[in-house]
Structure 1
Amino acid sequence: MTMMSLQGRVMVSAALVLLVFLGLTGWVLDRAFRDSAESALQGRLEGQLYGLLGVAEYIPGKGLLIASDPPEARFSQPGSGLIAQSVDASGKPVWQSDSSLGLSLPDLPQLGIDESHFQRIVIDGGDWFSYEYGLSWIDNQDQEHKYTFRITESPAVYTAQVNSFRQTMITWFVLVAIMLLIVQAMILRWGLSPLRRIEHELQDVESGKSERLAGDYPRELKGLASNLNLLISNERRHLDRYRHTLADLAHSLKTPLAVLRSAVSPGHQGSKLEAIVDEQVDSMTKLVEYQLQKAAAAGTTSLAHGIKIDDHARRIVNSLRKVYQDKGINFDIRIAEGALLYGESGDLMEVLGNLMDNACKWCEGRVSLTVSALSDHEWRKGMRLCVEDDGPGIAQDQIDSV
């Protein structure tokens, strides 16, 4: 299975995050709009109630009467979706608007004075919004009469508002998401362009059009480009070394082969031939071993695995303590934290062992070893190794010959 590109991964991740974010934002906005629409609807129904009470009148003997032409024309229109009704203190229906014609209205509960409810009720299987309010009417004879009013509206207007808002919101969210993804893709293309440049330059190196990565890269990629250039240089050096080694080996084997060819010519027989063959085979074996050692010694690379200097140094010091136990040498070891050698452990042991052994041989009683990086904690760029002793040192007139 082909691995998805970095740009593809980021785009898919951004799309998923954007989808979740816009989904949650849409849900919150939708909920807030529905609450706001219901609050506005409650205020509108409350206003309809107060307008209806403005044309109501209590007449002794006849009860509460409401004008035949209420302020809201929809109360007089059957199927308008706006209904008004009232009951007295005993729950007996007093009045209901003409707009309720053909509808089966639920019972209206009796409410206390100034008590109000805003809720949904079921009328003929559908949810309607209902505002109910309890009040008392004082007639001319100071008699109190309690009534409960209900103003009911179908959800058609509310549903249309919510659907319109949702459609508008979804449209804008889709446009915003597309714009954000386009901007994200443009930013990614610009941000990942140095990686594409490295890829193209590596292809040029591979095809022989260029010898190294020569582009100017951001700080985060400079280390990568530097290591790639180092790897390319080491690879070329290895190839050149192998060519030279093979050439040297071929040249070195010419003489032994010529001797062997001469030995098998007429006149060389018996034990004399056997001695010549043994001698030349031994010579060729030594030549091959020498060339292999030479190739290995030249093969150290800056990308080698780092060797902890502290471990090897202390191993050498422990061995030298035993060898020069009679001198009671005081070793002063100062190795920087994290000191590493990017090379062969055998080379380290040979160089450090020889220097330390020489110091122990000529010291009076103290040998110090100091290891530090040439650059600040940049061990790949080289290290400084200093071995000192309190011995007589080298005579001034012999320094130039050392």
Structure 2
Amino acid sequence: MIFVTGGAGFIGSNFILDLLASQDEHVLNIDKLTYAGNPYNLASLDGDERYHFVQADIADREKITQLFEQHQPRAIIHFAAESHVDRSIHSPGEFIHTNVNGTFSLLEAARAYWSALDSEKKAAFRFLHVSTDEVYGTLGPNDPPFSETTPYAPNSPYSASKAASDHLVRAYHHTYGLPTLTTNCSNNYGPYHFPEKLIPLVILNALDGKALPIYGDGQQIRDWLFVSDHCAAIRQVLARGKVGETYNIGGWNEKANLDVVHTLCDILDQQKPKAVGSYRDQITFVQDRPGHDRRYAIDARKLERELGWKPTETFETGIAKTVRWYLDHPQWVINIRTGGYLKWLELHYGGDAEETT
């Protein structure tokens, strides 16, 4: 069995679906089901005896210890995290609780479990920690992409909390010998993405005739990675990665936010045209958020060189699949919009305001 924390979230649910589609493995999904945890993402697994779910907080050391003892996993894939920069600016304490304290509790439970295993199972066990490129800070227009040796320089409470969790994972390997692996990925996109993030928010606001608000001048650059490519990379790292190592996972797709929005509008103009005008007419520019990093870019050559992984989707193919998925899954959109997302928008932006991208 494999433990997956945060498996009801965007990347975690895609990982579980891809894993069970590609291999015969039992999975225990451990998820607190906060606002972005959506069990409906995994509705297709109803009745699949390989899939198991437990609602739990990873910071609950007693509960996590009990799950280790009960299920005896061969590995744990740690996705669970508070993950949105805007949210971390408003509520940094939640990010420290989950990303720092939760990771610490998980490491302690994993260390106790691993230490008691026989030598064969001990050698096979893995703790794979999924992190972000945001721990490296920001890049200038001509700077080389982030590599695994780039110094950490987080600029938001979110990225600082993820940097802290990365350091804890590293320390548990070097201090205790816990067989850890760390991945730092670029911006993911694809099916089941919670609509606070840029791509799903723009798609859904466009279809609703709402403003498409863009921070600053929209020239913030991100490296975009299709979520299924990310999941395939994680499986490769789990299977063949060198214990104690970090692997950067990127899509080799640097795009300015405004260019991403233009691409989405153009696809929607083709696939679901408005009666009058273009979806680009809904774009509006708003004040930039505090500490907004200008550019992220990932150098994923180590992963390709050592483990033979590279992305299969270009941005053009991946974004077309993403838009099509949202158009084809209106019920998922309805379900997600009746949850905590709208309450959060009301709390932080008030009235009819929409979150900026």
**Bucket of the pairwise TM-score, normalised by the shorter protein:** under 0.3
The answer to which structure, 1 or 2, has the higher relative contact order (CA under 8 A, 6+ apart) is: 2
What is the TM-score with the length of structure 1 in the denominator? 0.19
Instruction: Pick the structure with greater CA Rg.
Output: 1
Structure 1 or 2: more helix by fraction? 1
